[in-house]
Structures are given as structure tokens and as C-alpha cells.
Structure 1
Amino acid sequence: MENRETATAEWRCSCGQSGNKGNFCVKCGKPRPISQPQPSQPQQPQQPMQQLPPQNQQAYGHPPYGQQQYSQPPYQPQYQQPMYGQPVYQQPYQQPEDKNKNLKIGLGIAALILVLVLVFFAMKEGALGDEPAPSNYSSVSKNGEKAAQNQNADKKQDGSREMQTDLSLGGMDLGMTVAQMHETLGQELSTKQKDGMVFYQYPTVEVGTRGDIVTSLVSETGSALTKRGLHEGSLLREVTNTYGTDYMKSEYGGKDLYEYRYTDLQGQTGILRFAVVQGTDTVNYISIRRATE
């Protein structure tokens, strides 16, 4: 009987809610304090507990259905000054980003490359050397003059001299003098005498002279050209296309000889001969001689 009266006596919770009759606070859910005095109240008949629909049931410790609920805002931590002796976290210092850093590096590399290029060309031109730059004008020694003469002679042997008549070969014209021969071809390789003639041997032609006049020319290589550009190795059809078909043909030593007659520098009649090995159509050698030889 005493326990029943204790359970039905009203009591005030520490949260401020009064009128609690049960063993727990209807506002915060705390249990009834034991030490709180329990005033005696007349016993009232116990009302059966009304069953609420499931959707209207409130969570344990919340106010009854229909009663407005006031709640405190969620806890928000406030900034507090650190206590003395407590370590304070600090962000590490970051160097401000230099936006022009890459541009500066690129310009520095380009400047270095430019300096290296200028130094290279300066060294190449001799600008950094102690020796003066060579002059455009220099004296030619006797050995240099001799080498130049030999070089000119080699060029002349290739037929660089402008030939005057069709009785010409390797830069030489039939009827030239020996002095003109040396002026054109330079120093001969060797000489030999036969039948009252002197033969001068050159790399491209053999020059035969009688007295002081050139009376025969014979090709030694394909470099000896006629005035019209034919040489050893030219085809027979090139010969006939260039000099025509008004030739005299004969045979000698297994070769077909195609001969044309022209006049030399001194008005003497000479013969231009193209020798073709029988059974072929290629010029084997070219010879020029006076008709009286």
C-alpha cells in the first residue's frame, strides 16, 4: 500500500519539471529521487493507459504527444585560448609561389645557349686568338707558281682550250707549234723519235711533231675530246649523227676506220679518224694526222 502511494505522489525533477507522478521524469527521463519527500495525496483510481497509434508514439524521455518540445541548439565548440604550457599547433611556413620562376629559368637557359654560340663562332673566326686573321692578298711562292702551272696544264689537257678546227683533239689543233703545245699542255711526260718525227707523251693525248709543227694527235683516254665533244667510248651512231655520213671507210687490224677530211690551222689537209672494233659500235680510239704523213 505504501509503495503504491509513493508511485502516485507528485514530485519535482531537478530539470524543473513538476507534477511528475511516475518513477521517471516525463521531460528528461530521470528517475524519481529517493531522498525527495513524498507528500501524501488522496488515492485516485488508476486510469488505464491509453494506447497511442504507432506513428504518434514519442521516443522515451520526450514530452507527451501534442505537447510542444523545446530543445537547445546543438553544441558548437567555441574557440578557446590554449592554456599555459599547452602546445599550440601552427601551420608550417610556406614560401610564396613565384609565378615567374619558370619564365626566369627559361630566359637564363636561352641566354646561356646564346653566349655559347657566340663564343663558338668567335673562336671559329679567330676573333679570340692571338694570330691576326689571314689577309685576302698573299704572295705566291715559286713552288706555288709551279703548282699552279701544273694545275693549269692538267686543265688544258682535258680540252679546256677553245679549239679552232675540226682537226683538234684534247685541246690541241693540228698545225700548232711546239711552243703553243707546251703553252697549252705544259710539260710532257716523255718523248720519243721515230721516222724523223718527235712524239710527246701526255696523260690524255700523244702529240706528234715534224720540225716545229704538230702533225698528228692520238687519244690515250676518254678524256680527250674533239671540238664537237666526241671521245673514246662514243657510239658509232653518235659519230655519224655529229659528223655526217660523208666519210671514207676502211679496215685495218680488226678495226673499221671512219675518216673525215678537214683543213688545219696552216691550211693543210688533215684526216680525222674514228676507229671502231669490228663487231661493236663503240669508238676504240681517235686519231688526227696530216694527209701527207
Structure 2
Amino acid sequence: MLARQRQAVILEEARRTGAVRVSDLVTRLGVSDMTVRRDLDVLAGRGLVEKVYGGATSVVGKSTDEPGFEAKSVRQRAQKEAIAELAATLVRPGTAIGISAGTTTWTLARALDAIPGLTIVTNSIQVADVLRGSTQPDRTVVLTGGVRTPSDALVGPVAVHSLRSLHLDAVFLGVHGMADGPGFTTPNLTESETDRALVEAGRKLVVLADHTKWGTVGISTIADLDEADVVVTDDGIPDDAKEILAERAGELMIAETAETDEAREA
């Protein structure tokens, strides 16, 4: 079993029971004490568990917790880049697309530079900054107005009003969390309303979310899982999540990360 597979098992068990013991995991996974502790260090470094004496506890964030853009931008970089590159293959030249706020969608914006003739609507200051530096002379960027959130999204009545008058070929949506039942969620009520308006403006919905988003639930639902035409995630997604997403969403695309097995073991 590879390191990422062990870590997925550990994380799933921690979320299911609330806590895990090193001794129990050694028996279950058939690995050494040091290997389990190293896996717990990795998960703790990602903010997914909290280490305690003899094991770790699940980290359950508040449904209204909203990290700032800079804090989120350093998390899961390899996964976000792989997701962005795969999602970019869905963008056709000459189309009109919407891109929501978020660090994964910001990474997508950087991957679109070679595609000509795009009209891009976004409520993200960070995404607009990236697109403004495009080398494509025929690119049009529309930044909605609104009130700025900690994640550098522009939200509220002004943003919603402008989005409801638009018709887009596809919308690329970043989310705070995804789970069976709550669907795709956000910790910000006003941002949820704006994101829903963006989703409604598009004929196709593509959700971008790395594997750590699975099981995270924000206070407000943006869309149900079955509203997504495509979900693009990475190869760290747990098997149970794969099954649910493959069944509920129109299509599940899994990006292979650039990490090597040796890097995962480190």
C-alpha cells in the first residue's frame, strides 16, 4: 500500500470515529510504528488531523471557517496544478466561460493562457489579475462588482445581478467542501448566493476540488453533487468518494499528481 493510500485510510477512520491510535493502525495497515507516525505527521501538516499522545484526532472545522486566499494558496499545490491542467483540456477556443473564486480556479486561470478567443467572467480579484496578464490579444475578461470576502471573491447583490444577465458555455467552480448529502458547499452565505448565480449562468458545470475537500462541509450549499456535469479531482481521493462522485456527477476526471511514490513516502 502506497503512502497516500495509507493516509486516506487513516483520514477516513479518523473522520468516522473521531480519533485513531497508532497501535491500532500498525495492526490494521501492517506497517511499522514509525511509518504510521510519519503518515500522521503528513496529515497533521495538511491540517487534516491533530496529533495527540498515542495517535491523532479528526479536525472538524467550523462550517463558517473561511481561510484567506494566501493561506489556501500554499495547500495541495501539486494536486491543484494537476487538476488545473486537466480541467483546461475542457476549455475550447472562442467560448465564454465563468470562473469562480478560489485557489484551484486561480491555478486554472494560469493554465488557460494558450487558449485563444476566450471571454471569461469571474468574481475573483486574483483570477482577474492572472487573466489580465494573458498573452492572448483577443481575450475578454469581465470582473463582476461586489463586496470583497477573505478569499478575494466579489459577492453580493451587485455580483448576482450582473451574473443573472449572462449566458456562458461553461462554469468552472471551486468549492470549500464536497460531501454526499450537503453537496458542494462554502463557508460564506453571501458567496454561496453569488456562486449559485454563476452556476445558473452556465450550460455546463465543472467543479474543481482536490481530495482534501471531500468530507468538508461549509454552512451553505452551492449545488448538489448531481448538478455537476464534470468533477475534476486528484488521485488522492478516497475510493468511497470515487464511487459516490462517479455515480452522482455526470463525469469524474481524476488528475495524476506530479508526486512520486518516493516523495509520498518521505
Same fold (TM over 0.5): no
- Structure 1-normalised TM-score? 0.19
Q: Which entry has the higher C-alpha Rg, 1 or 2?
A: 1
- Structure 2-normalised TM-score? 0.20
Which is richer in helix? 2
Higher relative contact order (CA 8 A, sep 6+): 2
